[in-house]
A and B are shown apart, each in its own frame.
Chain A
Amino acid sequence: MTYLAKPKLHHPDLPQNRLGYTRRDYEGTVSTLCAGCGHDSISAAIIQAFFELAIPPHRVAKLSGIGCSSKTPTYFLGQSHGFNSVHGRMPSVLTGASLANRELVYLGVSGDGDSASIGLGQFAHAMRRGVNMVYIVENNGVYGLTKGQFSATADRGSKSKRGAVNTDSPIDLVGLALQLGASFVARSFSGDKAQLVPLIKAAVEHRGAAFIDVVSPCVAFNNHPGSTKSYDYVRAHNEAVNRLDFMPRRDEVTADYPPGSVVDVVMHDGSVMHLHKLAADYDPTDRVRAMNYLAERAARGEVVTGLLYVDARAEDLHYHLGTVDAPLNSLGERELCPGAAALREFNAALR
């Protein structure tokens, strides 16, 4: 069931998207996070991406686990149903929601503790299954909400605010997602909205598991010298492999690019991603080489960002399960119940 969107009336000067929604229609309640928290910038990027894509807000379901990051779905898309589930288990809840109604856009928001510590298993298996979703990890290397303990993405040798040194080796969610079969893998930085917004847009249009690891500094507990997830550190070590322009198929391609510097990736629905190559030798359609590249750069302490891998022809979980086009939650007795006559036959075979 899709009903025509009826946006609220706003000040006539506010810019509107294709469906007549203004940016405000994509906002949520006022954030209660710390001033300067990276997560708020990601919320802003999500608002902009969905506004620009002109997705009716109520056709989005936003799900999260527990943490400062997982609180953010209240701060955007106020007209969407949201689900703040339990710590580390958003992927399974999202999987079930997606199975129930394949027509909505599923946005999962999580933290590094939520996805790499307590929820590593669910993160991994949702990627493996190719659940059609955008999965954003707001990665600050600490548990913000429980006041600054190291999370599993904290780099070995990085220092806590109190000076403790992390001796465990880090989990790289991007590397895992690549290995586990995610068909869209990106990394970005909350401080780089120009890079992040098109990545989110492309991830929404992608069919299958789209994962974006967004380094998102925690100003309260992990923004000091010695941290590898601070604003300063990430700015100094950010190595973008490409820049993305996302073109929904309805828009015309107008820009001129120097030859050889751009790769076009056509998505399953006909939309086009223009990738401006920043690292000449980086090919985001070659999974194995991408993994090697990332491993090499990580060893040098670089934070590689951009669209790291995409398989534009990937299939999703619904395809693998062979489910009908109609949302399963829209089926009724007629489609689901075999009825009394079939039951009599069933009984007869059991005597």
Chain B
Amino acid sequence: MAAKRIESVNDFVVKFANVNGSGSASANTLFAKSIMRMGVPISPRNIFPSNIQGLPTWYEVRVSEQGWLGRRGGADLMVAMNPQTWDRDVAEIDPGGYLFYDSTKPLPASKFRDDITVIGMPLTAICNDAYSDARERQLFKNIIYVGALAALLGIEPDVIAELIGEQYRGKEKLLQPNVHALHMGYAYARDRLGGPIGLRVARSDAVGDRIFIEGNSAAALGCVYGGATVAAWYPLTPSSSMAEAFARHCRKFRVDPDSGRARYAIVQAEDELAAIGVVIGAGWNGARAFTATSGPGISLMQEFIGLAYFAEIPAVIFDVQRGGPSTGMPTRTQQSDVLACAYASHGDTKHPLLFPEDPKEAFEFAALSFDLAERLQTPVFVLSDLDIGMNERLCEPLEWDDARRYDRGKVMTYEMLESGQDFGRYLDTDGDGIPYRTYPGTHASKGAYFTRGTTRDAYARYSERGPDYLYNMERLMRKFATAANLVPQPIMRPAAQPTRRGVIYFGSTTPAMDEALDMLAKGGMHLDALRLRAYPFPKSVADFIAAHDEVFVVEQNRDAQLKTLLVNDAGVNPATLIPILHYDGTPITARFITDAVAAEVRRLNVRPLHGGRAA
């Protein structure tokens, strides 16, 4: 049927179209992991609705021996298991690609395309023959198609069987039927579907010792390692799985072996106002505390964030960003809370933001955020997003140095108070803008103070005097300058050739940007790249911009929020910054970046003449 078949080894995209709640998720993950076990890097992405059962859901697996982990776009093989979305799924297949579908019910020829290879397998009929229970028919159908895909793509069935074995360790009753279904699908495809297609998985060693983990789980583990003891949250996609992962990790790592009791406290609060309130109360009282939320939660927390900023209370807020505004696209990804977090609350406020690029940095920045929050005595935001948070991603193994000690910041102890050291809660003693604090209950007669959101003098006494207010506000600015040197510094990646053009990006844009830089360089366009890892920006960011004629600022929101922050805070010339914006809710791709950059460069190269006409 097909004119030309796509032929590719270890470099293609498989997309599964499923119905939400049909049990496809674990089968699809099994498929992806088996390729990883064969040493070929993968990057899967869930594209799911805000729904529990019935609506369409997709799972996209990019296979890339070169190790590109960004979304590619398009699909070389569509596993079309959802009649509801059939037309758009078939339309999405790249010319020369493949369609795998359940052929139990015959479909008219008009439902297909003639530039793709169509592979029909009567999955429902096979399951109806093999199983009598309705639930089994549904679940094993998923495993059967995984078996069939293994035969079509050259995935070793033993690798899949081994993964099933790990999954059902100790549950032998479930293990056998799953392995059986796998082989049934494999044999059918091998014997009756014509065996391998043009897309092939071949063993490689390109995965190395990398791990495969969701950003939310890694961030939650970072909270465990970073010493968080209090967590408060209100369920909100895509952040809920972070709080749930924290509970899971705590059950594993934070139970006192002697008493069996918890070295942590988790409160599922009544709303995000209460969640941040709990975090602030705990932080005030010397515990490391965090909340995990997304845009709508950040909006609700505004008043409290201002209190924590002004009263100088450590707090860590994870914003796993999703598509806004309002309820927006609750199950899609965006980087659109940058300004809402940077300037959260009324009055003059600004807050440190950390931008992890992947689960590994989500772990590191999570642990670090508690040091920063306590050192700086202020709310610290960790801004990841749905793309990082809710997808399993291949990343370097997590690391911890056992010699590392928590930085609890400037805390005046009983001994210091007893020795007569002067305690001014809002007094800057050494010029870094950071005052000392005391934990409640420390000393019988020294070090108690009153915490309030109203103005006060350096000794925490209520004061509305202008000079006292200015002292405080200017000290907070000094503290913010101190923060710029403590937060993770940007990573500069010079182009292979000298260039006057640069690009700035952050967070989940990174894998697509890595690939885009490679594509652009191959096309002769060289860009110096700067990956921002935090706000406030150190001076090196302004220097980078000043060293280039044009700097593309790539981000996943409509309003160029990072660019705004750069213009406001880094004192750079806005004319040198050219926004590249992607915000349709899908993760940004290398194709998008290269196309957009190329278009901007074409525009820049057309030099206007007098009178405004182009030459």
A binds B: yes
State the Cβ distance, A274 to closest chain B Cβ, in Å.
31
Cβ contacts under 8 Å, A80 to chain B: 440, 448
Binary interface encoding of chain B residues 406-425 relative to chain A, with 1 for a CB under 8 A from any of its CBs, else 0: 10000000100000000000
Are the C-beta atoms of A101 and B287 separated by less than 8 Å? yes
Pick the contact of A86: B253, B439, B445, B453 (CB < 8 A).
B453
Instruction: Judge whether B269 is part of the interface by a CB distance below 8 angstroms.
Output: yes
Instruction: Report the interface size for chain A: residues with CB under 8 A from the other chain.
Output: 68
- Interface-forming stretch among B378-386, B394-402, B485-493? B394-402
| Contact surface of B with A, Cβ cutoff 8 Å | 36, 207, 209-213, 221, 224-225, 227, 229-230, 232, 253-254, 256, 259-267, 269-271, 273-287, 289, 303-304, 307, 397-402, 404-406, 414, 438-445, 448-454, 462
Total number of A-B contacts with CB less than 8 angstroms?
235
Q: Is the CB of B281 within 8 A of A6?
A: no
CA distance A351 to B205 in the complex (A): 13
Which B residues are in CB contact (< 8 Å) with A124?
270
Interfacial residues, chain A to chain B (CB-CB below 8 A): 1-8, 56-59, 61, 63, 73-74, 78-86, 89, 91-101, 103-104, 121-122, 124-125, 129, 318, 321-325, 328-329, 331-333, 335-340, 342-344, 346-347, 350-351
| Cβ–Cβ contact B230 & A100, under 8 A | yes
**For residue B439, which residues in chain A have a CB less than 8 angstroms away from its CB?**
101, 329
Q: How far is the CB of B150 from chain A (nearest CB, A)?
A: 20
| A350: contacting residue among B212, B232, B281, CB under 8 A | B212
Q: A80-B440, A329-B286 are in contact. Are A337 and B227 (CB under 8 A)?
A: yes
Task: Across the A-B interface, give the 5 residue pairs with the lowest CB-CB distance, nearest first.
Answer: A92-B277, A96-B281, A100-B287, A81-B440, A329-B286
Of the residues A96, A340, A350, contact of B282 by C-beta under 8 Å: A96
Q: In the complex, are the beta carbons of B262 and A323 less than 8 A apart?
A: yes
Residues of B with C-beta under 8 A to A93:
277-278, 280-281, 284
Residues of A within 8 A of B401 (CB): 340
- Known interface pairs A81-B449, A83-B284, A95-B277. Does A321 touch B253 (Cβ–Cβ under 8 Å)? no
Q: Is the CB of B271 within 8 A of A329?
A: no
What is the bound-complex CA distance between A131 and B209, given in angstroms?
Answer: 46
A-B contact pairs, 21 of them (CB 8 A): A5-B444, A8-B445, A58-B445, A58-B448, A63-B281, A73-B450, A81-B438, A84-B451, A84-B453, A85-B280, A86-B303, A98-B281, A99-B282, A100-B289, A104-B285, A323-B262, A333-B405, A337-B224, A343-B225, A343-B398, A350-B212
A324, B261: Cβ atoms closer than 8 Å: yes
Q: Among B275, B279, B280, B440, which residue has its beta carbon within 8 angstroms of that of A101? A: B440
B349 to chain A, nearest CB (A): 14
- By a CB distance below 8 angstroms, the chain B residues around A4 are 444
A7 to B445, CA, bound (A): 7
Q: How far is the CA of A321 from the CA of B286 in the complex (A)?
A: 19
* Distance (whole angstroms) from the CB of A298 to the closest CB of chain B: 27
Residues of B within 8 A of A318 (CB): 265
How many angstroms between the C-alpha atoms of A339 and B320 in the bound complex?
Answer: 26
Residues in A neighbouring B275, C-beta threshold 8 A: 92
Q: Are B285 and A321 in contact, CB atoms less than 8 angstroms apart?
A: no
Given A338-B253, A340-B401: A89 and B273 within 8 A (CB)? yes
A336 in contact with B263 (CB, 8 Å): yes
In the complex with contacts A85-B277, A86-B304, A97-B284, A1-B400 CB distance below 8 A? no
C-alpha gap A336/B440 in the complex (Å): 21
Residues of B contacting A1 in the complex (Cβ-Cβ under 8 angstroms): 414, 441-442
**Known contacts A84-B453, A100-B230; is-contact A79 B448 (Cβ 8 Å):** yes
Per a CB cutoff under 8 Å, which of A79, A85, A97 touches B285? A97
* Distance A100 CA – B442 CA, assembled complex (angstroms): 14
- Is the Cβ of A104 less than 8 Å from the Cβ of B274? no
Chain A residues with CB below 8 A from B445, complex form: 6-8, 58, 79
Residues of B within 8 A of A121 (CB): 270-271, 274
